[in-house]
Amino acid sequence: MTMNADQPGDDQAPEDRAREVQAAGEQSRKRRSSEAGTRALLDSFAAGDPDDLLPLRDLLAGLGRRAFGMLLFISSLPAFIPIPIGGAIAGPLVVLIGLQLLIGLRRPWLPKFIADRGPHRNALARFDKIIAPWLGRLEHLIKPRLTWVLDHRIATMFTGLLLVLLGILTSLPIPFTNFVFGALLLLFALALLERDGALMLVSWGAGAVAIAVFGVLSGTLAAQATQLVDRLF
């Protein structure tokens, strides 16, 4: 029996097979990244040479719509440094994230000099060790739900607005507030990472209270926000 000339054979070039295998592996990696929970992502980032630098562009790769959550998670880490400079680092990054949500970007944009930078693996490993018990307790509570809170245009704009205001507050030298704002930002980050609209509603409420208590009542936030609007427009 002779094989039809048009019938596909098994003589595919090795280079083509290698490219197909590589492409399939890359798709699989991206799919696992987009589906993995926050704790699994942190564990994977923490594994390896502790001196490795993890560029932000690599940390966000393959996360799709959850990339804003991971970027916010990483950006909030300096707020837990018990010195004023921690908030000065975290605040502008959070403002940048909030502005991008406010104008409707679907994926984060970072200047090259920021995208090429990121935390060292040992810093993520230390934070992973600290936050793991809390994430373990929350795992059965946090889950994908009420996703319209994360996807609806007006809801996304509101999230962005709150993050801009919280970022401004975080960057200000208000005593004893870094941990408070850091914890709030982590709530927003977890809601975005886990696609949990219910947690985002909680974050909205907690964020609004923090803004009222630490910002509006002191008058500082209004002045900073006005200056920001003047620079933008």
Quick one: pLDDT at residue 125?
80
Q: Is residue 109 part of a domain?
A: yes
Range from 8-12, 24-28, 204-208, 227-231 carrying the lowest mean pLDDT: 24-28
Residues 187, 199 contacting (CB under 8 angstroms): yes
pLDDT digits (tens, 9 = 90+) for 170-208: 888 777 788 889 899 999 999 999 899 999 999 999 999
Instruction: Give how far Cα 19 sits from Cα of 24, 56, 62, 161, Å.
Output: 8, 27, 19, 44
Burial 193-202 (b: 16+ CB within 10 A, else e): bbbbbebbee
pLDDT digits (tens, 9 = 90+) for 79-120: 877 666 777 888 899 999 999 999 999 889 988 888 888 888
Q: Which residue has the higher pLDDT, 165 or 3?
A: 165
CA distance 118 to 116: 7
138: helix, strand or coil: helix
Q: Which domain holds residue 90?
A: 36-232
pLDDT digits (tens, 9 = 90+) for 132-181: 777 777 777 888 999 999 999 999 999 999 999 999 888 887 777 888 89
- Kindly report the pTM of this predicted structure: 0.73
Distance, CA of 3 to chain centre: 55
**Total number of domains in the chain:** 1
Q: Which two tokens stand for residue 28?
A: 């699989």
The answer to whether residue 5 scores a pLDDT higher than 50 is no
Q: Is residue 101 part of a domain?
A: yes
